[in-house]
Amino acid sequence: MRIFLTLILLTSVLSCKKAHEDRGKVKVVTTTTMLTDLVSEIGGEHISLQGLMGAGVDPHLYKASEGDVSKLYEADIIFYNGLHLEGKLVDVFEKMNGKINTVSLGDKLPKTELIPSEYFASNYDPHVWFNIQFFKQFAQIVTDELSKADVANAESYSKNNKKYQQKLDALDSEIKATVAILPAERRILVTAHDAFNYFGKAYGFQVVGLQGISTATEAGVKDVQNLSEFIIEKNIKAIFVETSVPRRTIEALQQSVLSKNHHVEIGGSLYSDALGDPGSSEGTYIGMFKHNVNTIVKALK
């Protein structure tokens, strides 16, 4: 009983300490883990940041809890991907329109540069973070919004942005060098759903997803059969699971290929709609990107 009371007291003290530390800071809420990492890089110690989604969470299917709604309504700024990625949160954001500064980052990108989709509600592929140049634009938008909300720390946000832009440029150069190892004819990426089209466009990969752009769309038997025939025809060495999509979808595809007397490896797990565990290399946008590319190149060589 004494231990229990001590834990309650400690939790209360820590909560009070955090509340004191966060007093006067801009309250920011983000949706996806990619955005949480980005905003943390720009905002640093000057903001109070809460991310709604954790590692491995699928934003296509994510529903806001009562606690999430409270966090959103208490925020000064909300950054979300938009383009209908967080489809089940759209109604919540619409109700907040005019009350809280909600920033749909994806919707601020030039539509002419987005990949259209006749099958998805937004008519655009929402997985824009797989284009590093788009993510650089996100960083600039976040910097501008934080600077408007907190003029006193605008210079700090600007400096953080400059450093992060340089890191993203270095990441892009590293990815290009790693991909160059892989012969062009082997750059065919087969995954659980169509999350990597911006990546493919940027680095010369043909990307094929078993499911559509949204994981809310289930793959049928015909989809599995057609894709298995494609894998055999192109003699693809490996296919990939995604950490935020059930493994069974790719395992079913592998079994379909095997039933036709052809072998294909599962080349590893890729991070698509969410980062890895906090504190890990893959728990950052840059670490996630490096992990994905190294996994893909190693399996397809």
| Tokens coding 179 | 């991909």
Pairwise CA distance, residues 131 & 59, whole Å: 18
Pairwise CA distance, residues 220 & 248, whole Å: 13
242, 219 in Cβ contact below 8 A?
Answer: no
Pairwise CA distance, residues 138 & 223, whole Å: 34
| Domains defined for the chain, CATH in brackets | 22-175 (3.40.50.1980), 177-300 (3.40.50.1980)
pLDDT average, residue stretch 65-79: 95
Pairwise CA distance, residues 155 & 158, whole Å: 5
pLDDT average, residue stretch 277-291: 97
pLDDT above 60 for 33: yes
pLDDT above 80 for 46: yes
3-class SS string, the chain: CHHHHHHHHHHHHHHHHHHHHHCCCEEEEECCHHHHHHHHHHHHHHEEEEECCCCCCCCCCCCCCHHHHHHHHHCCEEEECCCCCCHHHHHHHHHHCCCCEEEECHHHCCHHHCCECCCCCCCECCCHHHCHHHHHHHHHHHHHHHHHHCHHHHHHHHHHHHHHHHHHHHHHHHHHHHHCCCCHHHCEEEEEECCCHHHHHHHCCEEEEEECCCCCCCCCHHHHHHHHHHHHHHCCCEEEEECCCCCHHHHHHHHHHHCCCCCCEEEEEECCCCCCCCCCHHHCHHHHHHHHHHHHHHHHC
Contacts with 123 (C-beta within 8 Å, 6 or more apart), sequence order: 116, 117
Mean pLDDT for all residues in the chain:
89
Residue 243: count other Cβ atoms within 10 Å of its Cβ. 21
Give the tens place of pLDDT for each residue, 162-181.
999 999 999 999 999 999 99
pLDDT average, residue stretch 249-276: 94
| Tokens coding 34 | 């990619």
pLDDT average, residue stretch 17-33: 78
Pairwise CA distance, residues 94 & 56, whole Å: 26
**What percent of the chain clears pLDDT 70, i.e. is strictly above it?**
88
**What percent of the chain clears pLDDT 90, i.e. is strictly above it?**
74
Give the tens place of pLDDT for each residue, 205-259.
999 988 754 444 555 678 888 899 999 999 999 999 998 888 888 999 999 999 9
Burial 30-52 (b: 16+ CB within 10 A, else e): bbbbbbbbbbbbbbeebbbbebb
Say what the pLDDT of residue 98 is. 82
Pairwise CA distance, residues 62 & 88, whole Å: 6
pLDDT above 60 for 111: yes
